[in-house]
Structure 1
Amino acid sequence: MEKALCLYIFLSRWHFLNALFTVEVFQSLYTAEHGGNVTMGCKFPMEDQLKLELLSIIWEKKELELTKEVYQLRDGKEDLKIQHSNFQGRATLLKERLNLGQSVLQIANVKRTDAGIYRCLISYGAADYKLVTLEVKAPYREITKSSRTVQTMAGHQEWELTCQSEGYPEAEVFWQSEYGQDLSDQQMGDSSS
């Protein structure tokens, strides 16, 4: 009975102590451009000067059935042994910001697969975490257009029109005459061009 009472008191006080240590995010939603860089951050309370050996930080990306380790600082030391291969060489922690009570993660060369929910977990005497969402956009660049005449097997001349661009999400392509007539059903070849 006495053990149960002690455990109850400890657990009730533990939640109170952890409530004093609260991680906050700079912002809950980040938007990055495909191929660019993104910097996401959260802050944690600290008194006076940072005691780096007491600090552990984990940034991870939540997936449907698993989490991918993005970056880890354990007891003040970088630990990239279990970093997921998707983030190797691309995810770093801006260590100069730690003395400000900030955990700032930078991901270089952002990919579409980087989009999702990230967890910033910080342990510094107590522990807390917050979630941030990363959206990745790949806006369409300049559309290249070309036209040429081609000789058919029957000896007729026909026009071949092409247009091409890169971006995400995939665009809907349709063709229209100068009079507004829909010519899409006459399109031949790849419909995503």
Structure 2
Amino acid sequence: MAGPSQPVLATLGADVVLSCQLEPAADVTESTMEWSRSDLSPRFVHLRRDGMEFLVNQHPLYVGRTYLSPGRLKQGDLSLRLSSVRLSDQGTYRCDVPGKASVEVHLHVGGAPATVAVSAEAGQSRGGVLLGCESAGWYPEPELLWLDAEGKPVSAGPSQTHRGPDGLYAISSRVTVEKRTSNTLSCRVQQSNISQSRTAEFSFKVEESKDPSGSAARVTAVLVLAAAVIVWFSCFFGWWKLKATSRSDEKPKKEEEEEEFPKQTTGMEDLEEKQRLAEDLKESQEEEKDLVGVIEMLKKLEKELVKSGKNKKSELQEVERKMEENHKELQKGSRKFQKMKAEKKAFILEEQQELDGKKKDLEKFLQLTEDRAEEVKKTIEVITRQRDGAGADRVEVQSENLDQ
């Protein structure tokens, strides 16, 4: 009697053939033969007596699921077809023709689901992006691996396994991966005993705009520049105003000198005086032109501060929205990954703490930006008002001098 030299592997739900061949081959259609399992009671899986199916004592687990081919029995082939394989079918079977020969066949049963699910669990943490992977319907117990884009293993915590009432295993795992512009990670669940594996790939992008650290540096630079420009321009405008005032004082002083020391002026002296006044007017116009350019620069700086403030408001709203989502998640709990519920809660709490810190930083930056923008705006108003007044006085004085 010949049977398979290696254990037979069957897949859950499929059909399997347990081989058994009489040697030398002989017709056993009229013989008594049986398939049995010693660990069952009754032990009969399939029974024939005197050429007839005798299934009265067949074990209930196999009713309607076993078949022997009459045509093959004529050739001494006693192979048993077992349909709709179950976990309970795993075991050692005995093919026996009483008085002739017998052989044992070992049946292993395995199962693998059609898919593996990978998803982002709770957004982003300080260390990166948290991913979860789960797969159910395995037998025997499988193993789970995380792989990077190059197929190299990624370090992760221990997997969680659970065996359900149906005897099948469910496995799940979580991993935190670095924040990058883009990343690809695969979750592979495999069972080497049954040569089965399932893989799911997860690709994601980390939006750098959500991280306020980069924009914070830019806003800080703008704020420092604004403060420096305000200080510098205050000094510049003080000097410009002092110079304009000194020019306006020249006429009264000269008149006093002429009253004290009257003299007769010539035509040549009048021409020189007019040339000097023309040069002073040109110099004043150039200084005013520079002043207008600085005011324009301040206006651009004010615009940049207002824009930065709007961006900070948007980031602050996004942080507040995420904090509200996490709060709701903590309130309702999660029915998914029950054995990892405590770990997930700890992650959400950690993220909440991080978001709270970001919120405080954004509020601080926003307030500082608004204050600097207001300072720049007031500076522009004061400088413009004083420039217009000083310019009018200077033009009046110079016009009078030219008329003389």
**Smaller-chain TM-score bracket:** 0.5 to 0.7
Q: CA 1:101/1:58 → structure 2, altered by over 3 Å: closer, same or farther?
A: same
Q: Equivalent residue for 1:135?
A: 108
CA distance in 1, matches of 2:25, 2:16: 29
Q: CA 1:163/1:94 → structure 2, altered by over 3 Å: closer, same or farther?
A: same
Q: Equivalent residue for 1:44?
A: 22
Q: Is the 8 A contact 1:140 1:168 kept in 2?
A: no
Q: Equivalent residue for 2:174?
A: 175
Q: Is the 8 A contact 1:24 1:43 kept in 2?
A: yes
CA distance in 1, matches of 2:132, 2:14: 32
Greater fraction strand = 1
Q: Equivalent residue for 1:35?
A: 13
Indicate which of 84, 93, 113 corresponds to 1:118. Answer: 93
Cα drift, residue 51 of structure 1: 6.1
Q: CA 1:103/1:144 → structure 2, altered by over 3 Å: closer, same or farther?
A: same
After TM superposition, the structure 1 stretch with the greater mean CA deviation from structure 2, 38-47 or 66-75, is 38-47
Equivalences, count: 151
Larger radius of gyration: 2
Q: Equivalent residue for 2:254?
A: none
Q: Equivalent residue for 2:70?
A: 95
CA distance in 2, matches of 1:51, 1:143: 48
Instruction: Considering Cα pairs closer than 8 Å and 6+ residues apart, tell me whether 1 or 2 has the greater RCO.
Output: 1
Match for 1:44: what amino acid?
Answer: L
Alignment of 1:190 onto 2:338: yes
Q: Secondary structure at the match of 2:71?
A: helix
Q: Secondary structure at the match of 2:78?
A: strand
Cα drift, residue 96 of structure 1: 1.6
Extract unaligned runs of 5+ from structure 2: 123-129, 143-158, 160-171, 180-333, 341-404
Q: What is the RMSD of the two structures over their aligned residues, measured on CA atoms?
A: 3.1
Deviations 1:9-61 (A, max 9, x none): xxxxxxxxxxxxxx22144421100110100121114677x3633x1110012
Q: Equivalent residue for 1:56?
A: 32
CA distance in 2, matches of 1:24, 1:161: 49
Match for 2:175: what amino acid?
Answer: Q
CA distance in 1, matches of 2:46, 2:17: 13
Q: Secondary structure at the match of 1:86?
A: helix
Q: CA 1:27/1:95 → structure 2, altered by over 3 Å: closer, same or farther?
A: farther
CA distance in 2, matches of 1:99, 1:26: 20
Alignment of 1:24 onto 2:24: no
Structure-2-length-normalised TM-score: 0.33
Q: CA 1:51/1:113 → structure 2, altered by over 3 Å: closer, same or farther?
A: closer
CA distance in 1, matches of 2:109, 2:28: 35
Cα drift, residue 132 of structure 1: 0.8
Extract unaligned runs of 5+ from structure 1: 1-22, 150-158, 181-186
Deviations 1:149-183 (A, max 9, x none): 7xxxxxxxxx9967443212344422111139xxx
Q: Secondary structure at the match of 2:61?
A: helix
CA distance in 2, matches of 1:105, 1:114: 13
CA distance in 1, matches of 2:97, 2:20: 9
Structure-1-length-normalised TM-score: 0.66
Q: CA 1:51/1:67 → structure 2, altered by over 3 Å: closer, same or farther?
A: closer
Q: Where does 1:49-88 land on structure 2 (aligned, <5 Å)? A: 50=27, 52-53=29-30, 55-63=31-39, 66=41, 68-88=43-63
Q: Is the 8 A contact 1:56 1:73 kept in 2?
A: yes
Q: CA 1:163/1:66 → structure 2, altered by over 3 Å: closer, same or farther?
A: same
